[in-house]
């Protein structure tokens, strides 16, 4: 059987001499083609090498085999030495993020402690203003892009203040910044120390060079990730929503909702989330149960009836509805929906109570729809019994 051989390779950007050192069981060029494919498929991310391939092109790099080893242990140790030798974790000299490969292949899982395997991965990131070169260094346990979106959202909703970075995003716009991953750490202690190191290296607390206000390194784990899981937060936010909607009529709230759903960006964000939620059987069952309970309540039925009557009593609504039916596209969509519903009904082999649609048990009603004879006879008996007791004189009976 052919013995595995581990190759330590190096990809070097010609113009800047920045290097990426890696370890592979494939050939060097097979691994390079994999890097190039991943860079082409990704749309920005935490890998500096992928971002560099996207920016400069795959033909802007030279390739070199540094060493070949017969065992994974020797290869891991050699990779760490070469990364340290080239200082390729320094963004000015290389593209590496880690001091050694963390791929859990063959025997490499034993090299990592249990705590390292269970801990989060903390990313030290840097946002750079293109025009001035000023930097903001931060850390996150999520992707840098999600954290950047949080910064942009905070900048949009804040109304000025002492925070330099949100003020800069509002002033220059979110497209005026470049993004870079500086380091990836596997414990909060290492991440705090790395954040302090990078803020100090870039001197980003100096207003002429950066946007940081603190020296960093003060992050603590959050006990609850989702604030809506905290009862006090949920109660406060629901009270705020109730106060915000207190002075609005149903028509005003409906108009605001329609305007919001007409925004393509809003639909692009919300629709995929709703669709993925409805694929969860538990969420779907809960939503269907809540809807059925709502439709079964007498007060809910009465409310829907009043709303429908008031809507059709409005001359504006009737005129708008009549104009809508004059639109050929709208009529085609409605006809398509009706035909689709009819085709689904034609495919049914049993009624909703489980009786089979056989020739002996099926007839066509005046509307042209199939009816189950068993269910029809049952409804007839119930109606006859109700009519009998309505018309019967019970005045002579004593309770």
Count H helices, E strands: the chain? Answer: 15, 8
Distance CA 278, CA 393 (A): 53
pLDDT in tens, 291-311: 888 888 888 888 888 888 888
Q: 222 and 145 in contact (C-beta within 8 Å)? A: no
The number of C-alpha atoms within 13 Å of 56 and in the hemisphere containing its C-beta is: 18
| Residues in a beta bridge with 291 | none
Q: What is the pLDDT of residue 223?
A: 54
Q: What is the pLDDT of residue 28?
A: 85
Q: Is 87 left (phi over 0), alpha (psi -120 to 50) or beta?
A: left
Q: Take residue 317 and report the two structure tokens written for it.
A: 């609504």
Is the pLDDT assigned to residue 112 strictly greater than 50? no
> Which domains are seen in the chain, by residue range?
1-102 (3.40.1440.10), 116-244 (3.40.1440.10), 348-382 (no CATH)
Average pLDDT, the chain: 81
Give the DSSP H or E segment for 174. Answer: none
Determine phi and psi for 243, rounding to 5 degrees. -65, -40
Q: What is the percentage of the chain residues whose pLDDT exceeds 90? A: 13
| Residues in a beta bridge with 125 | 138, 181
Is the pLDDT assigned to residue 110 strictly greater than 70? no
- Give the pairing type, strands 61-69 and 6-13: antiparallel
Q: How confident is the model at residue 375 (pLDDT cuts 50, 70, 90)?
A: very high
Who's near 166: CB < 8 A, 6+ residues apart? 151, 154, 155, 158
Is the pLDDT assigned to residue 391 strictly greater than 70? yes
Q: How confident is the model at residue 162 (pLDDT cuts 50, 70, 90)?
A: low
Q: What is the pLDDT of residue 225?
A: 56
pTM score over 0.85? no
Distance CA 360, CA 6 (A): 75
With CA atoms as reference, report the closest residue to 244 among 236, 353, 356.
236
Q: How many CB atoms lie within 10 A of CB 121?
A: 16
Q: What is the pLDDT of residue 50?
A: 83
pLDDT in tens, 181-231: 888 888 888 888 999 999 999 999 998 899 998 888 777 665 555 667 778
Q: 129 and 202 in contact (C-beta within 8 Å)? A: no
Q: What is the pLDDT of residue 161?
A: 64
């Amino acid at each position: 059987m052919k013995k595995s051989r581990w190759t330590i390779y190096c990809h070097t950007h010609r113009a800047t001499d920045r290097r990426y050192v890696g370890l592979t069981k494939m050939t060097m060029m097979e691994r390079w083609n994999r890097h190039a494919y991943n860079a082409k498929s990704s749309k920005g991310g935490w890998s500096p090498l992928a971002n560099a391939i996207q920016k400069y092109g795959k033909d802007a790099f030279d390739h070199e085999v540094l060493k070949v080893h017969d065992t994974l242990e020797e290869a891991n140790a050699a990779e760490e030495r070469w990364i340290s030798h080239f200082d390729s974790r320094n963004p000015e000299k290389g593209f590496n993020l880690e001091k050694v490969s963390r791929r859990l292949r063959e025997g490499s899982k034993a090299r990592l402690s249990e705590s390292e395997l269970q801990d989060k991965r903390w990313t030290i990131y840097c946002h750079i203003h293109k025009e001035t070169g000023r930097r903001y260094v931060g850390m996150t346990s999520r992707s840098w892009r999600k954290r950047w979106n949080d910064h942009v959202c905070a900048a949009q909703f804040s109304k000025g203040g002492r925070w330099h970075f949100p003020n800069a995003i509002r002033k220059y716009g979110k497209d005026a910044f470049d993004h870079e991953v500086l380091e990836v750490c596997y414990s909060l202690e290492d991440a705090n120390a790395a954040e302090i190191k990078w803020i100090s290296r870039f001197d980003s607390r100096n207003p002429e060079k950066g946007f940081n206000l603190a020296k960093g390194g003060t992050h603590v784990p959050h006990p609850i990730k989702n604030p809506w899981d905290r009862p006090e937060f949920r109660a406060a936010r629901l009270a705020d929503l109730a106060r915000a909607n207190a002075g609005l009529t149903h028509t005003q709230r409906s108009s605001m909702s329609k305007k919001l759903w007409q925004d393509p960006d809003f639909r692009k964000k919300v629709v995929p989330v709703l669709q993925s939620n409805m694929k969860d059987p538990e969420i779907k069952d809960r939503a269907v149960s809540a809807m059925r309970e709502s439709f079964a309540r007498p007060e809910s039925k009465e409310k829907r009836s009043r709303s429908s009557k008031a809507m059709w009593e409005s001359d504006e609504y009737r005129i708008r509805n009549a104009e809508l039916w004059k639109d050929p596209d709208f009529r085609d969509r409605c006809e398509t929906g009706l035909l689709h519903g009819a085709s689904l009904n034609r495919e049914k082999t049993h009624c909703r109570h489980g009786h089979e649609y056989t020739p002996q048990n099926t007839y066509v009603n005046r509307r042209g729809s199939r009816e189950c004879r068993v269910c029809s006879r049952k409804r007839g008996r119930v109606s006859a019994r109700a009519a009998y007791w309505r018309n019967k004189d019970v005045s002579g009976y004593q309770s």
